[in-house]
Structure 1
Amino acid sequence: MSAHATGSTTAADLVVVSNRLPVDRSPEDEQWRPSPGGLVAALEPVLQSTGGAWVGWPGQPDLALDPFSFDGMELVPVELSAEDLELFYEGFSNDTIWPLYHDVISPPAYHRDWWEAYVRVNERYAHAAASVAAENATVWVHDYQLQLVPRMLRELRPDVIIGYFHHIPFPAYGIYSQLPWRTQVLEGLLGADVIGFQRVADAGNFARAVRRRLGFETKAGSIRVPTADGSVRTAIAKAYPISIDASVYDELARRPDVQQRAREIRESLGDPDVVLFGVDRLDYTKGIGHRLKAYGELLADGRLDVERVTLVQVASPSRERVAAYMQLRDEIELTVGRINGDYDTVGHTAIRYLHHSYPREEMVALYLAADVMLVTALRDGMNLVAKEYVASRVDGDGVLVLSEFTGAADELTQAVRVNPHDIEGLKDAITAAIEMPVAERRRRMRALRRRVRDHDVERWSRAFLTDLDEVTR
């Protein structure tokens, strides 16, 4: 699907600011196409109905573009150089903030030149948003790459209403306080009128950091923020758990060609009795190694038989130039090779490991082919894969094994909950999922599907924007 892009520079009443634009440029024909992803699905209809604008990087270094229209949205490109990407994105965003905010599963690196690039690039995004926002517009800033934008934007455009949504965890103060620029980041976020988080615990961690670091009064999600003119304004910090467009997955899962593809997948695996499935970005936060360790031990203990059970693990490529990710890929592939070498038979493979990304239709076919979905993240803001699996199970069957350290665990209470650090507990959960009676599987899945259907991504965006509108009246 592609759309005609035309030049434009209209002032917008609603402006979304995120690291990336909601489009990708095809290298073959240089046509713009919509990006896959939950945020795009949530916000595209809102922007189309309001004639809104989206500010973000177009996906290629040193690409200078004027604003243009695409599918009823105004797109405002922010140019980033190769050096910006190295220092701001790969450096500060993904080698400082990402590991720090995910409970230091991997050690964060603190470099002053990375921070300086982060400030510089955030200023660029803030100026781009300020230039396109109409008078008294609403500006919604997204995620950890742009934590300084709310304050910068408030200084540039005191008339606009500012929301910020944090898609990843926000850590406890003992961890957060390690950040050399902890004060500046809190002040940056407090430029927003509403600061949204995935979990109640994340909003609480943020409020505690504000109290400890800045001494501002916080009460029941309200934060009293002193302003330059001596007055006080109120910012709201609360949880808005993000979701998916469940209807898209439901519709795909009912298509005969997708159901046929699910049957083909099982046949290609040698028609095992049970298919276990994991799909993750190749990231140290996802607990892929813990999952493989538990599965390998179940085979070694004789509790699982490779003739009956297969694990399919999709690990989509991620941040392949960052050293920690290169090392992780080597470790995962060594583990997969060792387990397969020990337990494969001529007709059956212990682990089918796929280091690719797949289109949505293929993902839904894989969800339908999987009897048990394994989500064993060590720390995750939400984990939308868990919700995608549930939304795809139109047969009302299947079992979700879900880490308690995901945002999704707060909502999907009928999943089999696990602590992925507890390998024995994880092994017991996997065998319990495999052996679960049909009636219990269906009862749990019915409740999970109701939750995902009723709390979809459209409801998420509406709740946030409604609160943003009310808090600034």
Structure 2
Amino acid sequence: MGRLVVVSNRVADPRKAAAGGLAVALGEALNKTGGMWFGWSGNIIEGGTPGEGELHQQQSGPVKLATVDLCREDHDSYYLGYSNGVLWPVFHYRLDLAHFDADHIGGYRRVNQLFARKLLPLLKDDDVIWVHDYHLIPLAAELRAMGCKQKIGFFLHIPLPPQLILAAIPQHEWLMRSMFSYDVVGLQSEADATHFSRYAEAEMGAEALGEHRYRAFGRTITCQAFPIGIDVDEFAALTHAKEGRDTYLRMKEEYHKRRLLLGIDRLDYSKGIPHRVRAFRELLKLYPENRDSATLIQIASPTRESVDAYTDIRVELEGLCGAINGDYGELDWMPIRYIHRNVARKRVPGLCRAAAVGLVTPLRDGMNLVAKEYVAAQDPADPGVLVLSRFAGAAEQMKDALLVNPYDTQGTAETLQRALRMPLEERQQRHQKLLAGIRAQDVHWWRRTFLEVLEQSGS
């Protein structure tokens, strides 16, 4: 393979990335090929000219890091306005939260054109380009328009919704047609791949050629599922490292009389956290033996707090937790421990290992790696139980979890009770199968498989 060029909204230094992160997985291939990572610098230039931005380059070992500044107008329209104000909610099936503004799509196109102009002169003839996520869907089309001939792959880290939801986006035809400028389009799940197929055939008249290949607009592309994984051994090692071990021992000591249920999420409306809390309240109502016995620890990391939808969910969640603690709490027991701040990654494995039940119940999610991290952190001799939303991409692979519909409050509560009462032998069997699955399709498998398909595309 030629040099790997990774393009994403933000650039990470592979040498500084947290263990198990995307940067580490991509860093292996970047280091091997003397690759380049290109994206936004994170700098916002007040008063800058739209469509312009200074290019910065630096070396990180064998890897070149190339970044571009954005002016305030471009950042607000491309990033806040279109990427996170339109694509994020629509792709998570929340049309009601999308803000369609013609100026925003103009900024989105302008920044993708800027990235293409800055990237093109840095490319070599045998480069293999891998573009990541919804911020940069049209980047290949802009590069092709400027004469780029290299192989270009794209991976969407969030869900791809069904045809009729996609069709609600103004200028959806332009957005989706731009995907045919890639050689390979990677999605998280088979459900997402089906959505692409139906959209491509119905809306764009694409011809399905078999073996995940489609032809339209004079181009043939491959589109298939490449479910992303974690570095299982790396995360398991963190469980036994000092911070992870200390966290585990502290939690076991503090909650030695309780059974812990754990949720770790960004505070995002797609994660279904209020639905989860209501299900826990229903558990306490329907199965009173869990009062003074079960504790839910819910970590909800801050994100995009300037957006009204996130302010609303924080107010709702804090009200719910306060009401449940008020209704059911005792002097020496609070049903819910709600934490609205980031928890150090090195402590997360210890939290996971201490929890009898891991709650991963998004309303919609591309994959959700917390589910896989929870499994990797467990003690095989006495593992906890993963309760997983059927609407997470991970559910396609992790069928030995207890799958739930997060909209069904009572059904989820009944599943929580089943998880808390599950016999040891069943817990061990389920964990063994889950662990084997996430090992077989770990993050290295994901990277290797995608790049192999990209290398073979067009041949």
Q: Distance in 2 between matches of 1:106 and 1:371?
A: 36
Which residue of the partner structure matches residue 80 of structure 1?
70
Counterparts of 2:37 and 2:412, CA distance in 1: 42
* Residue 224 of structure 1 pairs with residue 209 of structure 2: no
| Alignment partner of 1:372 out of 341, 357, 360 | 357
User: What is residue 429 of structure 1 aligned with on the other side?
Assistant: 415
1:331 aligns with 2:310: no
Secondary structure (helix, strand or coil) at the match of 1:388 reads: helix
* CA RMSD after TM alignment: 1.8
Whether 2:225 is the aligned partner of 1:239: answer yes
The Cα of 1:267 is off from its aligned counterpart by: 2.7
> Is the aligned partner of 1:176 residue 2:176?
no
Secondary structure in structure 2 of the residue aligned to 1:60: strand
Q: Is the alpha carbon distance of 1:116 and 1:204 closer, same or farther for their aligned partners in structure 2, counting shifts above 3 Å?
A: same
User: In the alignment, is the contact (CA less than 8 A) between 2:269 and 2:310 conserved in 1?
Assistant: yes
Partner-residue secondary structure (3-state), 2:403: strand
1:59 Cα shift? 2.3
More divergent stretch after superposition (74-83 vs 413-422): 74-83
Cα deviation for residue 234 of structure 1 reads: 1.5
- Which residue, out of 273, 291, 310, partners 2:295? 310
The answer as to 2:141 corresponding to 1:151 is yes
What residue number does 2:190 align with? 200
Q: How many residue pairs were aligned?
A: 449
Does the CA contact (< 8 Å) of 1:250 and 1:394 recur in 2?
no
Residue of structure 1 in register with 2:241 after alignment: 255
- Cα deviation digits, residues 58-115 of structure 1 (max 9, x gap): 2232394521111431111021223322221111111111111111264311100110
Aligned-partner Cα distance in 2 for 1:469–1:254: 38
**For residue 237 of structure 1, what is the amino acid of its counterpart?**
C
- Structure 1 residue runs without a partner (length 5+): 1-11, 25-31, 227-231
Matched, 1:123 2:106: no
Contact kept? 2:380, 2:431, Cα under 8 Å: no
**In the aligned structure 2, how far is the partner of 1:283 from the partner of 1:433?**
25
User: What is the aligned partner in structure 2 of residue 446 from structure 1?
Assistant: 432
State the alpha-carbon separation in 2 of the partners of residues 224 and 179 from structure 1: 23
Aligned equivalents of 1:423, 1:409: Cα separation in 2: 19
User: How far, CA to CA, are the matches of 1:380 and 1:176 in structure 2?
Assistant: 16
Equivalent position SS for 1:78: strand
Separation (CA, whole Å) in 2 of partners of 1:92 and 1:105: 13
SS at structure 2 position matched to 1:190: helix
SS in 2 for 1:61: strand
Q: Which is worse superposed, 300-309 or 425-434?
A: 300-309
Tell me the residue number matched to 2:332: 347
Look up the SS of the partner of 1:261 in the other structure.
helix
Aligned in 2, Cα 1:461/1:328: closer, same or farther, shift over 3 Å? same
* C-alpha separation in 2, matches of 1:438 and 1:175: 43
Q: Kindly provide the amino acid, as one letter, of the partner of residue 214 in structure 1.
A: M
Secondary structure of 1:67's partner?
A: strand
The C-alpha deviation readout for 1:278-308, integer Å capped at 9, x for no partner, is 0111011111011100111222334353321
- TM-score, structure 2 as length reference: 0.94
Provide the secondary structure at the position in 2 that maps to 1:417. Answer: strand
Shift of 1:395: 3.6
Aligned equivalents of 2:95, 2:365: Cα separation in 1: 11
On the 8 A contact 1:23/1:35 being kept in 2, the answer is no
Shift of residue 364, structure 1, vs aligned partner: 0.8
| Pairing 1:266–2:256 present | no
Per the alignment, residue 281 of structure 1 pairs with 266
Q: For residues 50 and 394 of structure 1, what CA distance do their matches in structure 2 show?
A: 37
Structure 1 residue 322 displacement after superposition: 1.0
Question: C-alpha deviations, 1:387-415, integer Å up to 9, x for none?
Answer: 01111114441100000001100001110
The answer (yes or no) to whether the contact 1:259–1:368 under 8 Å persists in 2 is no
Q: Do the aligned partners of residues 161 and 122 (structure 1) sit closer, same or farther apart at CA in structure 2, a change above 3 Å counting?
A: same
Normalization by structure 1: what TM-score?
0.91
Quick one: structure 1 residues 472 and 219, their matched pair in 2 at CA, closer, same or farther if it must change by over 3 Å?
closer
Counterpart in 1 of 2:49?
none
Counterpart residue identity of residue 308, structure 1: S
Contact in 2 for aligned 1:13/1:135 (Cα 8 Å): no
Instruction: Return the alpha-carbon distance in structure 2 between the equivalents of residues 266 and 186 of structure 1.
Output: 50
In 2: Cα distance, 1:342 partner to 1:249 partner: 38
The runs of at least 4 consecutive aligned structure 1 residues that moved more than 6 Å come to none
Q: Does 1:167 align with 2:157?
A: yes
Listed as ranges, the gaps of 5+ residues in structure 2 are: 46-52
Aligned residues: percent identity?
38
| CA gap 1:432/1:157 in 2 versus in 1, 3 angstroms | same
Q: Which amino acid aligns with 1:133?
A: L
Quote the Cα distance in structure 2 between the aligned partners of 1:304 and 1:161.
Answer: 59
CA apart distance, 1:153: 1.3
Contact 1:272 1:310 in 2 (8 A): no
> Which amino acid is the alignment partner of residue 132 of structure 2?
H
2:307 is matched with 322
In the other structure, the counterpart of 2:48 is none
Alpha-carbon distance, 1:258 to partner: 2.3
